Amino acid sequence: MARTAVLGFPRIGADRELKVALEDHWAGRRTSDELQTTAREIRAANLRTAVNAGIDVLPVGDFALYDHVLDTAEMVSLIAERHGGAGAVGLPAHFLACRGADGVAPLEMTKWFDTNYHYLVPELTAEESFSLRAEKWVAHLAEAREEGFSAVTRPVVLGPLSLLLLCKGVPEPLTLLSDLAEVYGELLKALAAAGAREIQVDEPCLVLDRTDAELDGLVDAIDTLCASAPIEVCLATYFEGLDGKVLRRIERLPLAELHVDLVRAPDQLAAVLEALPAGARLSAGVIDGRNVWAADLDLALDRLDRIVERIGTDRLTIAPSCSLLHVPYSVAREDGIPREIHEWLAFGHEKLDELSLLARAVGADDGDRDELLVDARRRTAARRVSRLTNDEAVRARVAELRPYDYTRSRPIEQRLAAQHERLGLPELPTTTIGSFPQTPEIRAARRRRRADELDAESYDAFLREQIELVVREQEALGLDVLAHGEPERNDMVEYFGEQLDGFVFSAWGWVQSYGSRCVKPPMLFGDVSRPGPMTVRWWQAAQALTERPMKGMLTGPITILQWSFVRDDQPRRETCTQIALAIQDELRDLEAAGAAIIQVDEAALREGLPLRGSDQDDYVRWAIDCFRLTVAPAEPETQIHTHMCYSEFGEMIEHIARLDADVISIEASRSGMDLLDVFREFDYPGEIGPGIYDIHSPRVPSTDELDRLLELAEQRIGRERLWVNPDCGLKTRAWPETRAALANLVEVAHRRRLVQPEVQA
């Protein structure tokens, strides 16, 4: 009989218990033991839910207090010297790497493949040595048994190849692979001694374009692991398919199981079956671990039937496509979603039920299968024909688009000249990315408004007070271009989705972005349009308070797409074009109201890049086109900004230039401005604001540190095109650190204006 498995669970807790516990611990309100107790309760609840759903194989060791990549690095004693080095132990050292401290920078953070999860980037040195620290994995294995779970408990660990490829610091990290594989072999011995029968080794980097040398190194590493201990090795890949080069190596490996993503890459199935090692199980990822829509179980069963026909049910494991880290816990408690749409949804717990149902159906005869699937088929059919998903006016507007609708009226050189004349900004203009601290008072007022404890008039008055506070703070700091602070916005995507047709929202649909940072993505179920203005009145309220230019703040179509749970019944390009037209309507209204600067944030542009090079050009073309469509109507003297965070631009800098934004701001502080090296070789036509203040850490950067980063930026870009700003919005920070850091930022910009540029060469 086929078995069911889960590759990983959400780890924030159904009520965001981990977020609360972490932030209490960092604030000194909760001890380390109390934090660990909360973490254990979350792990036990995850396992209990899976057991109750009938899941056969349960993951352990996938849980992390902050980030699983960091945990894996610490497992092999890969710890930066500034964070204590290989001898560092305990939570203070752990969180030092995550968050930094005065005078100590944290690890760089970047996106986990093409998801909105952020991982911490381990740092290698050429002389790196590894040693095993397996306590977490052994403890979590023992803990599951102490809790009474009798199902197969399978430790999960990020594999040695992917760990090295996700690191930074050395040009050829795979020279360290052999030594690292030996330490992983020691891990398998420790887990076997602790009673583990199998281990899940995640190698997501295998779905990227890999060299022969990298793949040969993987073969040697997996051979080392498989020979190290009497424990089954289950190799897990996800987010894309495996190409022929990878599969030719995999068929020679002594694996017990291979997991593949048949949601993202169903076309790989035939080749995977041909290359499956003799006697190995195939773990078929047929339930989408990254989206919230109920599965088409007939489509999933079609794939499973093909597998069973080839290798039988005994060698089949039915699984989600990837870890359930990327989806919320349960839709059952969502009572505010329209009933028709509610039936189309499956969060984490419901996906477990889908797995169990598939396991029963895959071996059933036609009659029993029909009986098992009657409800699922009804929901799938209802969604296909629902009028809620189709707006003929929206589709007609998209169909009428022509090439000139994607182009601004004048080239960037002429626009910048007109903007400089209109704005009259000084050299090295200072600004922020947009949001300011979401204080407890703001969050409390928002909760009271949603609970109808605060009427609309009182809530509006409160928001205007908050906007005035932010404007006065910025004026006192001496910033040149202001933002209204966004107190009315809970999230940069959710805020817009709440005011656009085609979206629906959950009350409990939280997912982890990084550490204690959680987001609640909108669910985009239908055609998108804008019923009315969304931001104009707040911009007008802010601009009326000051003579300095006030940015209009919009979230771009690509980011809204990427940071939503997107409908899977039409091409993403079509959906993104609809969003672009809706945001274009808002941009027109802001400009008509007098906004001289409008920022259209595309934080997720790079994140959406397909993992395979062969698929990237098509995405980049339509994604850039959607941004251009959004901003094309802006007059030449209206300055268009965009913000992109955690993006490595080298491979797509020409495409970023095609955005045709007047000013781009990017994250660069944690990389020490290394991300700007591409601008030495590429003559970017617009102006650039590399973030010099890392807002993802509570530490306040000194003026010396900011001055050094600004000097590095000036060497790469040139002062005449340089803006000075933080690397992202400030909503997660507190006012004392925000005020101090921005004061240092402004001081550095003012100081450098007095220095002749040629002195800095």
**What percent of the chain has a predicted confidence (pLDDT) above 70?**
98
655 is catalytic: no
Please count the other Cβ atoms lying within 10 Å of the Cβ belonging to residue 675. Answer: 22
Amino acid at 302: D
pLDDT for the residue 671: 64
pLDDT digits (tens, 9 = 90+) for 75-111: 999 999 999 998 888 999 999 999 999 889 999 998 8
Angle (deg, nearest 10), helices 32-52 and 17-26? 170
Task: For residues 160-188, give the mean pLDDT.
Answer: 96
pLDDT digits (tens, 9 = 90+) for 556-595: 999 999 999 999 999 999 999 999 999 999 999 999 999 9
pLDDT digits (tens, 9 = 90+) for 499-536: 999 999 999 999 999 999 999 999 999 999 999 999 99
pLDDT for the residue 760: 41
**What percent of the chain has a predicted confidence (pLDDT) above 90?**
86
Task: For residues 45-54, give the mean pLDDT.
Answer: 97
690: enclosing H helix or E strand: strand 687-693
With beta carbons less than 8 A apart as the criterion, state whether 169 and 125 touch: yes
pLDDT for the residue 648: 60
Amino acid at 235: L
Q: How confident is the model at residue 408 (pLDDT cuts 50, 70, 90)?
A: very high
- 434: Cβ contacts below 8 Å, ≥ 6 apart: 483, 486, 492, 551, 553, 599, 601, 643, 729
pLDDT for the residue 680: 72
pLDDT for the residue 679: 75
Helices then strands, counting H and E runs in the chain, come out as 28, 21
pLDDT for the residue 756: 75
**Of residues 42, 37, 15, the one with CA closest to residue 25:** 37
Q: How confident is the model at residue 652 (pLDDT cuts 50, 70, 90)?
A: confident
pLDDT digits (tens, 9 = 90+) for 299-352: 999 999 999 999 999 999 999 999 999 999 999 999 999 999 999 999 999 999
**Of residues 219, 152, 157, 214, the one with CA closest to residue 186:** 157
What distance, in Å, lies between the first and last C-alpha atoms of the chain? 70
Both structure tokens of 400: 């009428």
How far is the C-alpha of 345 from the C-alpha of 274, rounded, in Å?
A: 34
User: Is residue 245 predicted with pLDDT exceeding 60?
Assistant: yes
Q: How confident is the model at residue 736 (pLDDT cuts 50, 70, 90)?
A: very high
Q: How confident is the model at residue 606 (pLDDT cuts 50, 70, 90)?
A: confident
Residue 667: strand pairing partners: 691
Q: What pTM was estimated for this model as a whole?
A: 0.90
How far is the C-alpha of 91 from the C-alpha of 680, rounded, in Å?
A: 40
Task: For residues 262-275, give the mean pLDDT.
Answer: 98
How far is the C-alpha of 708 from the C-alpha of 381, rounded, in Å?
A: 60
Question: Where, residue-wise, is CATH 3.20.20.210 in the chain?
Answer: 3-385, 416-757
Query: Which entry of 83, 326, 349, 696 is annotated as an active-site residue?
Result: 696
Give the distance from CA 251 to its chain's centroid. Answer: 32
CATH topology (fold) of 416-757: TIM Barrel (3.20.20)
pLDDT for the residue 193: 96
Both structure tokens of 250: 């995999």
With beta carbons less than 8 A apart as the criterion, state whether 217 and 161 touch: yes
pLDDT digits (tens, 9 = 90+) for 413-452: 999 999 999 999 999 999 999 999 999 999 999 999 999 9
How far is the C-alpha of 706 from the C-alpha of 702, rounded, in Å?
A: 6
Residue 430: strand pairing partners: 724
Mean pLDDT of the chain: 94
pLDDT for the residue 344: 97
**Which is it for strands 118-120 and 109-111: parallel, antiparallel or unpaired?**
antiparallel
* Cα Dmax for the chain: 82
Top-level class of domain 3-385: alpha beta
How far is the C-alpha of 667 from the C-alpha of 688, rounded, in Å?
A: 11
pLDDT digits (tens, 9 = 90+) for 451-496: 999 999 999 999 999 999 999 999 999 999 999 999 999 889 999 9
| Dihedrals phi, psi of 503, to nearest 5 degrees | -115, 150
| Dihedrals phi, psi of 655, to nearest 5 degrees | -70, -40
User: Is residue 631 predicted with pLDDT exceeding 90?
Assistant: yes
pLDDT digits (tens, 9 = 90+) for 346-402: 999 999 999 999 999 998 999 999 999 999 999 999 999 999 999 999 999 999 999
With beta carbons less than 8 A apart as the criterion, state whether 114 and 610 touch: yes
285: enclosing H helix or E strand: strand 281-287
